[in-house]
A and B are shown apart, each in its own frame.
Chain A
Amino acid sequence: MASRYETLDLLTRGNDMDIRVFEPTKCTGCRNCELACSIAHFGAFNPKRARIRVLRRGCAEELHVCNHCNEHPCVAACRRGALTWDDGEVFVDEAACDLCGDCVTACPSGGIRVFDGDLLVCDLCHGDPMCVKFCTTGALVLKAR
C-alpha cells in the first residue's frame, strides 16, 4: 500500500478529489513512474509489476495506465463482477477476479495487465499516487477534478 510511504518528504501530496493528468510532451521516458508504482504496491522494483507503463515509440512516449475513465468498458466486460465503478474510480475485488483478461481487452488505453497472478489496475494510491510524486518533469500531475 502506498500509505507505507506517507511519512516521506515527497514533492506532491494529493487527495481524493484530484485526478492524474498526463502531458506527453513533458515525458522523457525515464520510467521512474513504473519504479515508484512497483515498489509502492509490491515492495520491490519491477516495471513488469507496475500498473503504469511508458513505452517509447520513436520520439513519442506512450502512457498505458487506467485513467478511471467515465466510459470504463472494463467494468461491463467483467463477467464476475470483480470490477466496479464508484465515485469516479475503478475498483477491483481481487477475490472475485479469475484473471480471465476480458477487462484487459476491453480497456481502450492498454491500461490493465495481468502479471504473475495479479490483475494490475491503477488504484491512484488512494488519492496520493506515487507515480506523480516521482515524476520530476511535470508529465504526470494531479489536477482537481
Chain B
Amino acid sequence: MDRLLWVDLAAGRTRKTRVPEEWKSCYLGGRGFTSRVLYDLVDAHVDPLSPENVLTVATGPLDGTLSPSSGRFTVGCKSPLTGLLGDANSGGHFGPELRFAGYDAVIIQGRARGPVYLLIDDDHVELRDASHLWGRGVFDTVSALEKAHGSDVKVIAIGQAGENLVPYANIMAAGHNAAGRTGVGAVMGSKNLKAIAVRGSRDIPVADDERFLAKVRECHRKLIADPTYADFSEYGTLILVDIAQASGGLSTRNGQLGLFEHYEDISSHVYQDTYKLASKACFSCILHCKNYARVASGPYQCENMGPEYETMVTLGSRVGVGSLAAILKANQLANDYGLDTISAGTSIAFLMECSQRGLIDERYEWGDADFVIDCLRKIAYRDGIGAFLAKGVKAMSREIPGSEGFALHVKGLELPAFDVRTGKGFALGEAVASRGGDHLRALPNFELLSKTREEGIRWFGSPDCVDPYTENGKVPMVIWHENYGAVCDSAEICKYCTFATYAVMPKDVADLLTFATGRAYSETDLLTIGERIVNVERVFNLRCGMTPDDDTLPKRFLTEGLAEGPAKDVTVDLGRMLPEYYSRRGWTLDGVPTREKIEALGIEVKGVA
C-alpha cells in the first residue's frame, strides 16, 4: 500500500516511491491515477506503440478490503486503437494481490530488449526472461507462471494478440477477467512485457474497523434487497440479452436489426439450463455475476468463465451467430489470444455487412460461426483476412468507400453491444466518452429500469429522463453517472454494485473510504473528484488532436430507424443534447474545458481554452 512501483524496462531497473498525497486526495486511485499519469507524463503526440508510451496498472483505496465488489484495477496508456486516452478496467483477484504486496500502482516505461515478465513478491521485484512464454496463449502463460512461482500468485498477461500488436488486444487477468478495451494489451506487447505475476502478504489496515465493517454489512443488505439483485446474481450480465431483445435493441447483423431471430437459442435461460456449471465471484463481491460454463462435447467443446453479455452479442447476434456453443468457444479463444471481443466481433460484423452490400468482392455470410472462430485466430496472428480485421472498424472503413455510415465506432473504439437507439442517455454517453465508443463511462442504467416519472424528477429534475427513447432530460442524468462512474473506477468498486443496482450510492462509498483511509470524504468531495477526472481526460484527448466533431455516433444510429420492435423508427438526435452537455460541464460551445473550470477543479493548466 501507499507505494508506486516504477519499472524502467529499457534499463531493467525498478524503484519504489510514496504515492503523492495530492494523487490520493484529488484522484483517489485506479482510473484517477492512470489518467493523472497520462496527463502528466505522456506527450500527447507519442506513438502509442513506442517506448515513450507509459503503461500504468493501478488499484484503488478499497482494494483488498471487505468493501463490496472492490477488487478491481485499471490499466491506462495512450491507446493504439484511438490515438487518444486509453484505459481498461478488470475484476478478478489481481488488484487486491498487488495491494497486498504493498503497491497502489505500477508505472511501466520504456521497452525491454527481449521478452520479459515482471515478478513481484512483496518487496522483491524482478524482471525475468519470458522467452519461453512468448508465443503462448494466456491460459498457458498463467499456468506456467503459477507452476513456477506457486499457485497463489495472481497473474495478468497478454496473449498472441498483444504480442502481435493488434490494436484491440486485451490484458487478461487469470485467463478470464479482461482489461479489455482500447488495446492496452498491444501497448504491453510493444514493451515486450508478457506478464506480471504478483504475490502479496502485507496487511491492509483500515482506520475505523468497526464502522467500516458495519458499513460493509449495510451495503450488503442494500444490495441483496435491491430488485435487480436476484436476476443479476443468478444470470449475471446475460440477463441483459433478454432485456435487450425485449426493448428492441439486441444488436443484430451489425445493428441493422434490433431483434434477433435466433434469440431463443442464446437467451440467458438456455445458457443457464444447458451449459452453466456455477456462479463465480470476483474478490469481495457478493453479487457473483460471473458464470462458469462447459460445452461437454462436439466441435465447440470448451470450458471457461463467461461469456458476458457484451460477448454474447458481439460474437453472437451482431455477427448473426445463434449457436450458443459456438459463442462459448469463440469467447474462450478470444480470452486465450487476449482479444477484445467487442472490437473483434464488431470488426467481423462490419466485414460481413460490407460483403452483404457488395462493397467488397468476397462473400462472408451472417451466422457463419466457424468463420467467426477462424477469424479470431487470424486476427491474433494477423494472418490473411485477419490482418485487415486487426485494423479495427475505423481504419477498415477508410479503405472501403461507402461503408462509413455503418462502421460502428466512436473515436476509433468499436461500439459495445447496447443499441443506443433504445437508450438516449447511453447514446450521449457513448458519443462523449473519453475512451471512445464505450458504455461504461456513463452507464446511465437509470433510464432503462422502469423508474417512475416522480423518481426522474427527484433524482435528475426531469420526469422524462426515465423514458429511454427520448432525448429530453438526459444531460444532468448522464453527467451525474459520468462523475460517479469515474469515482467507482478510481475507488475500484464495481459499477454493477453502485449503479446497475443503485444500491451503493456516493454517500456509501464516501463512508467506506472515510472509515478505510481515515481521510474524511463527503459525497460532494467524491463527485468533484469524478468531475476532475472527466476534465483531465477531456484535456488529454484535446491535446491528442480530438475535436468536438468526434463527439458523435455512427450515421446508422443518427439516421436509420430500426425496422421493428419497441424502438421502431427511433433515431438519435445528438444535437438536442450536446450543446446542453457542454454547457452544463462548464465547457465552451466547442466542447473545450474553460480555464475557469480547470482552475476551479484544481487541475494544473496545460493546453485548455
Does B205 reach chain A (CB closer than 8 Å)?
A: yes
Count of chain A to chain B residue pairs whose CB atoms are closer than 8 Å in the complex: 83
Indicate whether A8 sits within 8 Å of B281 (C-beta atoms), given known contacts A55-B151, A136-B224: no
Which among B93, B203, B292 has the highest number of chain A CB atoms within 10 Å?
B203
Does B302 reach chain A (CB closer than 8 Å)?
A: no
Residues of A within 8 A of B93 (CB): 31
Does A114 reach chain B (CB closer than 8 Å)?
A: no
Residues of A within 8 A of B210 (CB): 4-5, 7-8
Q: When chains A and B are docked, how far (Å) is the Cα of A58 from the Cα of B216?
A: 29
Indicate whether A9 sits within 8 Å of B214 (C-beta atoms), given known contacts A43-B209, A46-B201: yes
Nearest A-chain residue to B214, judged by Cβ: A8
Separation in Å of the A135 CB from the closest CB of chain B? 9
Which B279-304 residues have a C-beta within 8 angstroms of A? 279-286, 288, 292, 294, 303
Interface pair B204/A30, CB less than 8 Å apart = no
Interface pair B292/A59, CB less than 8 Å apart = yes
Nearest B-chain residue to A38, judged by Cβ: B203
Does B609 reach chain A (CB closer than 8 Å)?
A: no
Does B213 reach chain A (CB closer than 8 Å)?
A: yes
Does B100 reach chain A (CB closer than 8 Å)?
A: yes
Does B392 reach chain A (CB closer than 8 Å)?
A: no
Q: When chains A and B are docked, how far (Å) is the Cα of A13 from the Cα of B281?
A: 25
Interface pair A59/B277, CB less than 8 Å apart = yes
Does B65 reach chain A (CB closer than 8 Å)?
A: yes
1/0 per residue, CB under 8 A from B, across A114-145: the answer is 01100000000000000000101100000000
Does A39 reach chain B (CB closer than 8 Å)?
A: yes
Q: When chains A and B are docked, how far (Å) is the Cα of A8 from the Cα of B93?
A: 27
Interface pair B203/A44, CB less than 8 Å apart = yes
Which B85-123 residues have a C-beta within 8 angstroms of A? 93, 100
1/0 per residue, CB under 8 A from B, across A4-39: the answer is 110111110000000000000100111110011001
Nearest B-chain residue to A47, judged by Cβ: B100
Residues of A within 8 A of B288 (CB): 28, 30, 137
Separation in Å of the A99 CB from the closest CB of chain B? 16
Separation in Å of the A58 CB from the closest CB of chain B? 7
Interface pair B206/A45, CB less than 8 Å apart = yes
Residues of B within 8 A of A39 (CB): 66, 206, 209, 213
Residues of B within 8 A of A36 (CB): 66
Which among A8, A30, A36 has the highest number of chain B CB atoms within 10 Å?
A30
Indicate whether A30 sits within 8 Å of B286 (C-beta atoms), given known contacts A35-B65, A43-B205, A136-B220: yes
Q: When chains A and B are docked, how far (Å) is the Cα of A28 from the Cα of B92?
A: 12
Does B202 reach chain A (CB closer than 8 Å)?
A: yes
Count class of interface residues, chain B: 35 or more
Nearest A-chain residue to B204, judged by Cβ: A45
Which B311-351 residues have a C-beta within 8 angstroms of A? none
Residues of A within 8 A of B214 (CB): 8-9
Tell me which of B209, B286, B292 contacts A137 (CB under 8 A).
B286
Does B128 reach chain A (CB closer than 8 Å)?
A: no
Separation in Å of the A11 CB from the closest CB of chain B? 8
Does B64 reach chain A (CB closer than 8 Å)?
A: yes
Does B217 reach chain A (CB closer than 8 Å)?
A: yes
Indicate whether A45 sits within 8 Å of B203 (C-beta atoms), given known contacts A28-B288, A39-B66: yes
Residues of A within 8 A of B204 (CB): 44-46
Does B359 reach chain A (CB closer than 8 Å)?
A: no
Interface pair A28/B279, CB less than 8 Å apart = yes
Which among A35, A42, A116, A137 has the highest number of chain B CB atoms within 10 Å?
A35
Interface residues in chain B, defined as those with a beta carbon under 8 Å from any beta carbon in chain A: 64-66, 93, 100, 151, 200-206, 209-210, 213-214, 216-217, 220, 224, 277-286, 288, 292, 294, 303
| Contacts A7-B210, A35-B65 known; 11 new A-B pairs at CB < 8 A | A8-B214, A9-B214, A9-B217, A30-B282, A30-B288, A31-B283, A46-B201, A46-B202, A59-B278, A134-B66, A136-B286
